[in-house]
Amino acid sequence: MATWKEETQSLAGSDLVMIRGGSGKPLLVIHDELGYTGWMSWNEELAKDRELFIPLQPGFGKSPRQDWMWRHRDLANYYLNVIRELGLEKPDVIAFSAGAYTAAEMAAANPELLGSITLVGPMGIKPDKGEIFDIFACTIKTCLRQTVFNKEAKEYSEIYGGEMSAEQFEWFEDARAESARLGWEPYMFNPSLPDLLRSAKNTKLPTLLIRGAEDAVVPEDCIRKYQDALPQAESVSIEGAGHRPEIEDSAAFLAAVKKFLA
Amino acid sequence: MQIAHFTERPVRYLAEEPVLENRAFFGVSNKYYDREKAAHDYNFYLDEACFCEEVGFDAVAINEHHGNPFCSGSVVNIEAAILARITSEVKIVIIGNMLPGVKHPLRTAEELATIDTISRGRLVTGWVRGAGSEQFFNNANPAYNREMFNEAHSFIMDCWTKDGPWRYEGKHFHYRHVNPWVKPYQEMPQQWIPGVLSAETVMWCAEKQYPYLGLGTALGPTCDLWDMYADKSAELGYQAGPENFGYLLPIFCADTDEKAQEIGKGFIFGGGQNAFSRPEHTLPPGYNSKSAIRMLGQQPGGSWLGVSKDKLMAGADDSWDASAYDGLRAKLIAGYEKVQDNMQIVVGSPETCAQKIKDILSVIRPGVFTCFAVQGSVSDKDRLRSVELLGKEVLPVVRKHADEIGLFGPFDRTPGSVKLAPGSKRAPVVDREALAKLNLG
């Protein structure tokens, strides 16, 4: 089993709590709007030949909130500075949901700094058909139910089963609050992003788009819009999975990611 | 003491089933809106306010909510502006303008100054953060709610006190040219702040020397909150007194207790205040402070407008079983009796109402007392009769009692004007012995 550790570093002007594990070429993992859910089997698998860097987003309970961050674009530029200060050489980035929105902003701001981006159930671009599910207008439990299609997935119950402790509740609320600060309006998209991605298009930044075929949070049209903005992107749809394909069908998810990163 | 009449101006023609099916007032479709009946109601509520003035109330208080048939007032300043012209003596109390939701404090400053000017200085302006559901309706980022509230309030104070033109570049609001050509008629209108057990709001009021209005909160926790305010006041060098506190209580009065009990069930129409909005709309992300969230996580249990962790965690099992209607009504009726036992709703004949109000005033000693009119589909006639009985029979008794126990209102004694030497012990602001005698548990 790969070893992983949680460490706090002063990076890009603030303390940042980071999960690091595995060894090999750097892989930056950007978690979603609900926060880091722990070291899962897919982390373990990727850590066999990659060093995973998983920053815990500022304001999500562990890394201190940065008052100057108003938009995903601000967070993206913060992470780009983290990459610079860590001295990571063209890391691949894999990012989820609102985290994928952040990763897309990173690619738009400085595609040359990145090796590739894998966007899983990406928010960030307004779909023409359908709506990005409003995670702020539902209870925590409803939000989780909406997120996962395959509720029989082993890791779904491992993450969310049982009682929620007071500490977990607080982290969850921290995550929701910070996600609202960054993405309340416009709701989880940047109208400029498709145009800003021209830089990533021109540099042909390798891009993989992954979506669970039953995703009830991010409409399929978001993928089409990303595909329009980034014609070089490969796209994978995972049958029988919702918004969390990495835990709902880890095998299919890992197969797609490993093939792309190979 | 100042005694006010308050109404949510409920949508009275709405059947109860859509509210029960929605499990809340917020979010009930406006497909049920009836133009003719609404026109009647909007006009009736203005007439009712005039009648309050006629029978002896000192003030009429109104508020606003959005997307919610619990309250038909959506633009409170418009109604207040009409009242400014059609009433002549009563204070016009707005509880309040929802600063983070309006998002335009310069406009708000102008509107309120206009109301104060037309009424020749009868405006009492309140400020609110807006209930959780209001953040959704107004697309106001709840995570910045407190920041926007503080900034907007501070900006309005500057609008009313600084000579223009001047420029403002804040965090949430930006104005290149501030020079409103309407200022309040009063040098500074009084500001009364309604709240539902928010410690942060209470501390803010104490710092500003603003009266804090408890919205029907249980008497025990209300006493705790008053003490918190008074402790902060003492730290700041003044003795808090009745002039610093107000209390709003749902009251319905009829000629007999029996009739009042029947009609007073309007307070639980659709689930009443507890059904204002569903948990997911009551507590949007970032709306509560970190410390409030911490308390919520550790202490499941709801409050008047609050929401427990358990409720927040609950999934939306949205299936509606029509057969559950009778059971639900039975639960509401049981709740109706319980809140009366807790003295959070007062319903009865003038004698019954007067005695209960006196008991409550003896405990929490507010200088402002606000009668919250009945909700639900209560007729014009029954509503007006309640106003009349309160004004002519209950208020004189209550005023006499208030005088006997020294309940100064904020227009009798300026809040913050009783100085306290640093380090000296403050006087009590509530009567806990009187509370104990009520046996409320």
Contact A215, A123 (CB under 8 A): no
CATH architecture of B2-74+192-437: Alpha-Beta Barrel (3.20)
- Label residue B204 by pLDDT band (50, 70, 90): very high
Q: Closest to A177 (Cβ–Cβ): which among B286, B294, B314? A: B286
For B321, residues 6+ apart whose C-beta sits below 8 A from its C-beta are none
Best to test chain A binding among B280, B283, B291, B318 (most A CBs inside 10 Å): B280
**Per mean pLDDT, which range of B156-160, B304-308, B340-344, B396-400 is the poorest?**
B304-308
The CATH number given to whatever domain includes residue A201 is 3.40.50.1820
Determine the pLDDT at residue A140.
Answer: 82
Mean pLDDT across A81-100: 98
Model pLDDT for residues B254-293, shown as the tens digit of each residue: 999 999 999 999 999 999 988 999 989 998 999 988 888 8
Chain A interface includes B144 (CB < 8 A):
yes
- Round to whole Å and give the CA distance between A78 and A69: 9
- Report helix, strand and coil shares of chain A as percent, to nearest 5: 40, 20, 40
Q: Which residue has the higher pLDDT, A172 or A19?
A: A19
- Round to whole Å and give the CA distance between B282 and B398: 35
B212-215 vs B193-195, strand pairing mode: parallel
**Above 60 in pLDDT, residue B58?**
yes
For B257, residues 6+ apart whose C-beta sits below 8 A from its C-beta are B348, B349, B352
Beta strand ranges found along B220-298 (DSSP E): 245-253
Q: Closest to B312 (Cβ–Cβ): which among A140, A181, A185? A: A140
- CA–centroid distance for B258 within its chain: 28
Query: For chain B, what are the domain ranges?
Result: 2-74+192-437
Chain mean pLDDT for chain B: 93
B298/A141 CB distance under 8 A: no
**Per mean pLDDT, which range of A155-169, B88-102, B184-198, B381-395 is the poorest?**
A155-169
Determine the pLDDT at residue B313.
Answer: 65
Model pLDDT for residues B336-379, shown as the tens digit of each residue: 999 999 999 999 999 999 999 999 999 999 999 999 999 999 99
- Round to whole Å and give the CA distance between B418 and B91: 24
- Round to whole Å and give the CA distance between B372 and B346: 10
Q: Which of residues 277-296 of B touch A (CB under 8 A)?
A: 279-281, 284-286, 288, 290, 293-294, 296
Q: Whole domain around residue A55: which residue ranges?
A: 4-261
The domain total for chain A is 1
Determine the pLDDT at residue A168.
Answer: 82
B143/A180 CB distance under 8 A: yes
Determine the pLDDT at residue B302.
Answer: 39
A166/B280 CB distance under 8 A: no
What is the DSSP code string of B283-324? S-TT-S-HHHHHHHHHS----SS---HHHHH--------GGG
**Above 70 in pLDDT, residue B322?**
no
Best to test chain B binding among A67, A135, A142, A163 (most B CBs inside 10 Å): A142
Q: 3-state class of A228 per DSSP?
A: helix
Determine the pLDDT at residue A212.
Answer: 98
- Reported as type and span, the H/E element at residue B372 is strand B368-372
Distances (CA, A) of A70 to A74, B174, B191: 6, 16, 32
Q: Could you tell me which of B114, B63, B113, B124 has the C-alpha nearest to residue B90?
A: B124
Determine the pLDDT at residue B312.
Answer: 62
Contact A127, A191 (CB under 8 A): no
Contact B100, B133 (CB under 8 A): no
Q: Closest to B297 (Cβ–Cβ): which among A169, A176, A179? A: A169
- Round to whole Å and give the CA distance between B76 and B94: 7
User: Tokens in use for B411?
Assistant: 């227009």
- Round to whole Å and give the CA distance between A42 and A39: 8
Determine the pLDDT at residue B306.
Answer: 45
Model pLDDT for residues A172-218, shown as the tens digit of each residue: 899 999 999 999 999 999 999 999 999 999 999 999 999 999 999 99
**Above 80 in pLDDT, residue B297?**
no
Number of Cβ pairs closer than 8 Å across A and B? 71
Determine the pLDDT at residue A162.
Answer: 73
- Round to whole Å and give the CA distance between B257 and B182: 49
For B93, residues 6+ apart whose C-beta sits below 8 A from its C-beta are B4, B6, B59, B60, B61, B62, B124, B126, B192, B370
- Label residue B314 by pLDDT band (50, 70, 90): low
What is the DSSP code string of A49-70? SEEEEEE--TTSSSSPP-TT--
Model pLDDT for residues B228-249, shown as the tens digit of each residue: 999 999 999 999 999 999 999 9
Q: Which of residues 185-214 of A touch B (CB under 8 A)?
A: 185
**Above 60 in pLDDT, residue B441?**
no
Q: Closest to B139 (Cβ–Cβ): which among A173, A176, A185? A: A185
**Above 60 in pLDDT, residue B114?**
yes
Q: 3-state class of B98 per DSSP?
A: strand
**Above 60 in pLDDT, residue B174?**
yes
A92-96 vs A50-55, strand pairing mode: unpaired
User: Tokens in use for B220?
Assistant: 């025990």
Determine the pLDDT at residue B320.
Answer: 52
Return phi, psi of residue B397, to 5°: -65, -45
Chain B interface includes A70 (CB < 8 A):
no
